[in-house]
């Protein structure tokens, strides 16, 4: 493998391949950029088809975290980790503690948090080995309402206000009553997002590889269940990707019938040129690392004991950031992803 000429390598500072024979741990930690601070990013556990696929994912995700933290103006760099394995079959407490050891060996350059396939309980197991973990502290607001360290509710909240900003900009609407939203993926984040959209009066179309999760949305929220491959074809106002990345590509863009793409998934564009393709088709794209930054804001300020109401205030400001990007995009005749990249790069270059 030619690593330094790898198509997803982008001046990453450090990439560590981790193995523990006793537990079967096979993992990769990628640190993209630490100019603004230590690299924070989630640990994803997924049954990758190959080591190459896992490497592609961790390189893309870690770079995305650099941009996400910078655009949110956080004192953090970008990193990510992946564990190769099926979380439903291969996950054990010993495996999670072994991952904690791998994180600890980096001496604080990388801070781990939960991601797809991992949860707060896994982070607590890692936290028994390393202090360089976030997303584990209980969070309470001024009214005494408390929740776990799970950042997914804040990721969903930021995505929700981002959808509001996009609908306002493209459709001229100040509310979401009757707005049709196709949600691809109703896991932790997608589930929270769907509830918020439902409460705001949106009409939901949902898909997920987990049929139980879809059935729950149909039962609880009156959502319309859609086959996974048919979710791109729905005649909706908003297409909200909330699963894996690279789903905006040459095959799916011609099928989209939405006016807006705005969702919580990371790395939604298979390639940057697909952001240009969306713009040419007249689809407003909310850059993924801008709209889904609520979770990293949450886990960042957990480490600094910032009050819950202040965290919520910064998460809600995602809507204002997107409004600025949308406005500048139109004024400068540039796609939204390009404007977002420029703003982020100005902040983390060093």
Q: Would residue 80 show up in a list of annotated catalytic residues for this protein?
A: yes
- Starting from the edge strand earliest in sequence, which strands make up the sheet with 260-261, in order? 224-225, 203-207, 180-184, 238-241, 260-261, 284-285
Query: Angle at Cα 55 formed by Cα 46 and Cα 82, nearest 5°?
Result: 40
**Are 160 and 188 contacting, i.e. CB atoms less than 8 angstroms apart?**
no
- Report the distance separating Cα 85 and Cα 48, nearest Å: 7
Which entry of 26, 63, 68, 80 is annotated as an active-site residue?
Answer: 80
CB neighbourhood size of 189 (10 A): 29
Residues in Cβ contact with 99 at an 8 Å cutoff, skipping those fewer than 6 apart: 18, 25, 27, 43, 81, 83, 112, 126
Task: Count the residues in the chain.
Answer: 350
In whole angstroms, give the CA distance from residue 300 to residue 65: 12
Q: Where are the alpha helices (DSSP H) in 6-50?
A: none
Reading phi first (left if > 0) and then psi (alpha if -120 to 50, else beta), residue 188 is in alpha
Contacts of residue 235, Cβ cutoff 8 Å, sequence gap at least 6: 180, 257
Positions annotated as catalytic residues are 80
């Amino acid at each position: 493998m030619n690593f330094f000429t790898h198509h997803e390598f982008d001046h990453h500072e450090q990439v560590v391949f981790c193995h523990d024979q006793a537990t079967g741990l096979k993992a990769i930690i990628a640190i993209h950029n630490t100019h603004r601070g230590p690299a924070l990013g989630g640990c994803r556990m997924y049954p990758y088809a190959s080591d190459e696929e896992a490497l592609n994912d961790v390189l893309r995700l870690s770079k995305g975290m650099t941009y996400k933290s910078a655009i949110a103006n956080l004192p953090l760099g970008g990193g990510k980790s992946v564990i190769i394995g099926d979380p439903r079959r291969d996950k054990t407490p010993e495996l999670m503690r072994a991952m904690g050891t791998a994180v600890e060996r980096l001496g604080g350059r990388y801070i781990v948090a939960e991601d797809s396939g991992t949860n707060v309980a896994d982070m607590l197991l890692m936290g028994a080995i390393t202090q360089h973990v976030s997303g584990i502290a209980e969070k309470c607001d001024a009214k005494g309402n408390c929740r776990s360290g799970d950042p997914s509710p804040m990721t969903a909240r930021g995505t929700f206000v981002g959808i509001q900003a996009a609908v306002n900009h493209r459709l001229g609407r100040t509310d979401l009553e009757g707005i049709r939203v196709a949600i691809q993926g109703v896991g932790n984040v997608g589930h929270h997002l769907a509830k918020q959209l439902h409460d705001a009066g949106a009409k939901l179309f949902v898909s997920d590889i987990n049929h139980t999760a879809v059935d729950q949305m149909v039962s609880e929220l009156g959502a319309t269940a859609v086959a996974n491959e048919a979710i791109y074809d729905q005649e909706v106002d908003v297409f909200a990707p909330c699963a894996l990345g690279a789903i905006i590509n040459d095959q799916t863009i011609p099928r989209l019938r939405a006016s807006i793409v705005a969702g919580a998934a990371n790395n939604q564009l298979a390639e940057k040129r697909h952001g240009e393709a969306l713009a040419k088709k007249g689809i407003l794209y909310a850059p993924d690392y801008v709209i889904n930054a609520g979770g990293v804001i949450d886990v960042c300020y957990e480490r600094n004991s910032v009050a819950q109401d202040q965290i919520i205030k910064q998460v809600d400001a995602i809507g204002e950031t997107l409004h600025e990007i949308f406005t500048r995009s139109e004024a400068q005749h540039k796609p939204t992803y390009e404007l977002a990249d420029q703003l982020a790069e100005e902040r983390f270059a060093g």
